A and B are shown apart, each in its own frame.
Chain A
Amino acid sequence: MTNRTVLVLLDPAAEVRSSVLELLTIGRDLGRVEVVTLESPSVEALARLGTHGVETVHQAELPAAVRGDARHLPAVVAATLAAAVRRTDADVVLAPSTFAAKEAVALAGHALGAGVIIDAAGVTEDADGRIVGTKRVFAGSWDTTSVVTTDVALLTVRANAVVPKPADAAVATEVEGFAVPVDAPLPAVTQRVPVVRDAARPTLEEAAVVVAGGRGTGGDFGPVEDLADALGAAVGASRDAVFEGWFDRYVGQTGVTVAPRLYIGAGISGAPHHRGGMQASQVIVAVNADPEAPIFEICDFAVVGDLADVLPQAAEVIRAHKAAR
């Protein structure tokens, strides 16, 4: 532990999701953690931040023209992060690896002349106290280590990098406003419809367990959802299944990239595109009727069989096991 200041991005500020709790956990190992928001945090969010040791939330006060929906534009978030670094003399900025946060972090690094690591799978420091990010690249087939050589380091971190844990002692959290100038040319946001989240399931980006369905479902995601519910898992799909209109979000290198503790692919052949989005998962399980499916080459456990038989039976055994505990 050093006397570094670590800023964690919380956007939106209504709830503190598990990906942000992970960043707070990583941040506490690197220094003192403070939070940056674009809006007023909810009461629940503040309480959660307190249990994770956050004493200060820096809330952007934006020019009138960029309030409302425009405040979530990456260029606005970037201006906020850069201003927060200058205000607090922070050493490290951490944000989740969403497409929007990645752009914001890169733009803030650009404004600050600071080093940026995108999609880190882990963050540590080296013997000289420099910030180090590890990454999994080429569909999880290579591990790389990069060192940030500037005084300030900005990183986006993939979900499931660490297991989030609260601070040793809870603290009171204060919100401090600070003025943020925005001079980047911005597009107009003419409409913004927030994604409605399924409260009963974790999100695909953050879940520790993911069950995904592909062409082999024939369009019936019932067995996939059944097993996901038994495991408390998120549900995803292959790109094919999404293009067929059977499901809304796909796991793939251009869709959602996941690296959960457990990934189960059902009726998914394992084309390169899909593998690029899930191959970094810790344990990979596949169910496919085709014994030649390429996904069998990269998994730990596989069942050759009809997913409509296999998944409900697995869900039943898992439910019985949980009930007996």
Chain B
Amino acid sequence: MRIVVLVKYVPDIDADRRFEDCRVVRTPGEGTLNELDENALEAALRIVESLDDDARTAAEVVALTVAPEQGDLALRKAFQMGVDRGVRVSDDALAGSDYAGTAAALAAAVRRLEADGPVDLVITGMAALDGLGSVVPALVAAELGRPALTFAKKVALTDGVLEVVRETDEATETLSAPLPALLSVADTANTPRMPNFKLIMAARTKAIEAWTLADLGLDAALVGDAGARTTTTHAAPRPARPEVELVQDKGSGGKDLAEYLIRHDLV
């Protein structure tokens, strides 16, 4: 069993997230592993732990990211949770990639990993907490020609068949597909484990493989600004809200609230 977990380095949700020249600023020290990718890592590790002894020994979990060098922070966190291998795809030509460009680079890296042996499962989080588009998993599946089982809240793998339960806005669905497949997990799928002390120590020095587009055999015209089909032309912080009108409830707080709504034509 070989599993590739797609992880992303994103600005810390508590940091001052911002744009410069219409691009998200990713400064070292203010970024982190996308929290929702911890659920993906947890799902991968649990699948491996559920295998019998021989299969578990032969199994491999690879964390893969497309990021500049600081993306290593995300891979270090993945090592702390227990993945075997970390791969980062970095290339100046990737700057400005849209959803399709990002998916093309991730899929090319998965295909490169397949040169050493089949990848049975690609696992992702449900979304990245910077863009929140949540469409890259489905696009990677399309690039790889695999069925996509996304937003899983329950995951089971039995005899090479993956079965998930998911809740969409319209329905609760049970989906199944034989491997190879792509799985994205919701934040309700599991509780990610805490980093293990022994692994924390080992993660500091574990080698990270850095690949370029040339290593992937991917045409630079398909990714980054060159391949993007949308251009962000403007990015500005929203104006601050006016100061809050704060009322202490001394018996008429509800009346005050209702009057505020009526005064502002919100009723």
- CB-defined contacts of B145 to chain A, threshold 8 Å: 185
Cβ contact of A285, chosen from B17, B18, B148, B260, cutoff 8 A: B260
- CB-defined contacts of B228 to chain A, threshold 8 Å: 115, 149
Cβ contact within 8 Å between A301 and B244: yes
- CB-defined contacts of A138 to chain B, threshold 8 Å: 17-18, 130
Cβ contact within 8 Å between B169 and A99: yes
Q: How many angstroms from the CA of A145 to the CA of B233 in the assembled complex?
A: 6
Cβ contact of B147, chosen from A132, A144, A148, A185, cutoff 8 A: A185
Q: How many angstroms from the CA of A313 to the CA of B177 in the assembled complex?
A: 53
- CB-defined contacts of A185 to chain B, threshold 8 Å: 145-147, 177
Assuming the contacts A142-B235, A145-B233, A191-B174, asked whether A98 and B257 have C-beta atoms less than 8 A apart, the reply is: no
Which A250-279 residues have a C-beta within 8 angstroms of B? 253-254, 257, 261-262, 272-273, 276
Q: How many angstroms from the CA of A114 to the CA of B227 in the assembled complex?
A: 11
**B258 is an interface residue with CB less than 8 A from chain A:** yes
State the interface size on chain B (CB cutoff 8 A).
77
Assuming the contacts A146-B230, A285-B260, A314-B254, asked whether A110 and B151 have C-beta atoms less than 8 A apart, the reply is: no
Listed A/B pairs (30) with beta-carbon separation below 8 Å? A69-B173, A74-B148, A98-B170, A99-B168, A100-B170, A102-B134, A109-B99, A109-B229, A116-B98, A133-B230, A137-B131, A146-B233, A149-B231, A185-B147, A186-B147, A187-B147, A189-B174, A205-B169, A272-B13, A276-B132, A285-B257, A287-B253, A300-B241, A300-B244, A305-B248, A310-B254, A313-B253, A315-B258, A317-B255, A318-B267
| A interface, size bucket | 35 or more
**A212 is an interface residue with CB less than 8 A from chain B:** no
Cβ contact within 8 Å between B168 and A100: yes
Which A92-149 residues have a C-beta within 8 angstroms of B? 98-100, 102-103, 105-107, 109-110, 113-119, 132-133, 136-138, 140-149
Query: Which residues of B approach A to under 8 Å, CB–CB?
Result: 13-14, 17-19, 22, 36, 98-100, 103, 126-127, 129-135, 138-139, 142, 145-151, 163, 168-177, 181, 186-187, 228-238, 241-242, 244-249, 252-262, 264, 266-267
Q: How many angstroms from the CA of A117 to the CA of B131 in the assembled complex?
A: 11
Name A302's closest neighbour in chain B (CB-CB): B246
Cβ contact within 8 Å between B236 and A306: no
Top 3 closest pairs, chain A to chain B, by CB: A305-B249, A313-B254, A115-B229
Cβ contact within 8 Å between A106 and B99: yes
Cβ contact within 8 Å between A261 and B266: yes
B135 → chain A closest CB, angstroms? 4
- CB-defined contacts of B255 to chain A, threshold 8 Å: 313-314, 317
Q: How many angstroms from the CA of A91 to the CA of B147 in the assembled complex?
A: 28
Assuming the contacts A100-B170, A301-B257, A322-B267, asked whether A253 and B230 have C-beta atoms less than 8 A apart, the reply is: no
Cβ contact within 8 Å between B253 and A110: no
Which A220-273 residues have a C-beta within 8 angstroms of B? 231, 253-254, 257, 261-262, 272-273
Q: How many angstroms from the CA of A119 to the CA of B134 in the assembled complex?
A: 10
Cβ contact of B172, chosen from A186, A195, A303, cutoff 8 A: A195
Query: By CB atoms of chain B within 10 A, which of A98, A186, A296, A303 has the most?
Result: A303
Cβ contact within 8 Å between B230 and A195: no
Cβ contact of B177, chosen from A137, A187, A301, cutoff 8 A: A187
- CB-defined contacts of A114 to chain B, threshold 8 Å: 229
Cβ contact within 8 Å between A102 and B171: no
- CB-defined contacts of A254 to chain B, threshold 8 Å: 36, 126-127, 186-187
Name B100's closest neighbour in chain A (CB-CB): A110
Cβ contact within 8 Å between B176 and A141: no
Cβ contact within 8 Å between A147 and B171: no
Cβ contact of B231, chosen from A146, A297, A309, cutoff 8 A: A146
Cβ contact within 8 Å between A231 and B267: yes
Assuming the contacts A100-B170, A303-B249, asked whether A148 and B260 have C-beta atoms less than 8 A apart, the reply is: no
Cβ contact within 8 Å between B241 and A146: no
**A65 is an interface residue with CB less than 8 A from chain B:** no
- CB-defined contacts of B100 to chain A, threshold 8 Å: 106, 109-110, 116
- CB-defined contacts of A110 to chain B, threshold 8 Å: 100, 103, 139, 142
Q: How many angstroms from the CA of A300 to the CA of B145 in the assembled complex?
A: 49
Cβ contact within 8 Å between B232 and A145: yes
Q: How many angstroms from the CA of A75 to the CA of B181 in the assembled complex?
A: 14
Name A105's closest neighbour in chain B (CB-CB): B135
Cβ contact within 8 Å between B241 and A192: no
**A184 is an interface residue with CB less than 8 A from chain B:** yes
Cβ contact within 8 Å between A193 and B175: no
Cβ contact within 8 Å between B258 and A189: no
- CB-defined contacts of B150 to chain A, threshold 8 Å: 74, 99, 103
- CB-defined contacts of B261 to chain A, threshold 8 Å: 231, 262, 285, 314, 318
- CB-defined contacts of A315 to chain B, threshold 8 Å: 254, 258
**A89 is an interface residue with CB less than 8 A from chain B:** no
